[in-house]
Amino acid sequence: MSRVKNFLEGLDDHELAYFAKFKLPTYMKVTQSEIKEYLVERNLNESKIDRLILENPKSKLGDDRERCPRCYSDKIRKDKVEWTNTGGGIGIEDEVATWDGFGGRATYKNEVICNVCGFWLEDPNQERPLPTSKKALYVIWDFVLGVLRH
């Protein structure tokens, strides 16, 4: 049995619906075919996937688990990554990281991603693809910081 199928078997129907909607297109064609076959086995078609996403009961859970704000799954992946995007930030943490970098020391932060739908909860290096509106805000912010530095 493949690793993908093992992972998919650990998902409930709601999680599988979010996975199919948001993460399926990120896989290579061969793997997409395997996933689509599994969706058929689980009796999930496009309309059922949309319905499951709309009625997701996990959105009403009030537990203390860390959950994805998009799909409400608690299958969250945290990876410690070297924090490289320290320039332009405001705050003592940014300053310390910048000076550590000059001294040859690395600063690490958690990169937090939902394993089900691929939503990035924390992105310290701003590597995730951004919608055009947020890209524009970052461009404006970088311009303002550039003006303030001169």
Q: Three-class SS of residue 115? A: coil
Instruction: Say if residue 89 is in the same domain as residue 40.
Output: no
pLDDT band at 21 (very low <50, low <70, confident <90, very high): very high
pLDDT at 52: 94
Q: Is the dihedral of CA 17, 20, 21, 26 positive or negative?
A: positive
Query: Is residue 86 situated within a structural domain?
Result: yes
Specify the number of domains making up the chain: 2
Pair (47, 86) in one structural domain: no
Residue 80's H or E segment, with its range, is strand 76-82
Q: Which domain holds residue 23?
A: 3-55
Are 80 and 42 part of one and the same domain?
Answer: no
Average pLDDT of the residues in 57-79: 85
pLDDT at 53 over 80: yes
**DSSP conformation class of 58:** G
Distance between CA atoms of residues 60 and 17, nearest Å: 17
94 and 33 in a common domain: no
Residue 99 has pLDDT above 90, yes or no: no
Shared-domain flag, residues 34 and 87: no
In a domain, 43, yes or no: yes
Percentage of the chain lying above the pLDDT 90 cut: 43
In a domain, 93, yes or no: yes
Please tell me whether the overall predicted TM-score, pTM, comes out greater than 0.85 for this model. Answer: no
Mark whether 50 and 81 lie in a shared domain. Answer: no
Buried b (16+ CB within 10 A) or exposed e, 54-83: eebebeeeeeeeebbebbbbbbbeeeebeb
110 Cβ neighbours under 8 A, 6+ residues apart: 78, 79, 80, 81, 122, 124
Q: Is residue 99 part of a domain?
A: yes
Amino acid (1-letter code) at residue 112 = V
The Cα–Cα gap between 73 and 15 comes to 7
Instruction: Give the whole-angstrom CA distance, residue 100 versus residue 89.
Output: 15
3 state SS of 141 = helix
Query: Over 60: is that where the pLDDT of 115 sits?
Result: yes
For the residues 106-125, what does the mean pLDDT come to?
84
Give the mean pLDDT of the chain.
Answer: 80
Residues 46 and 86 in one domain: no
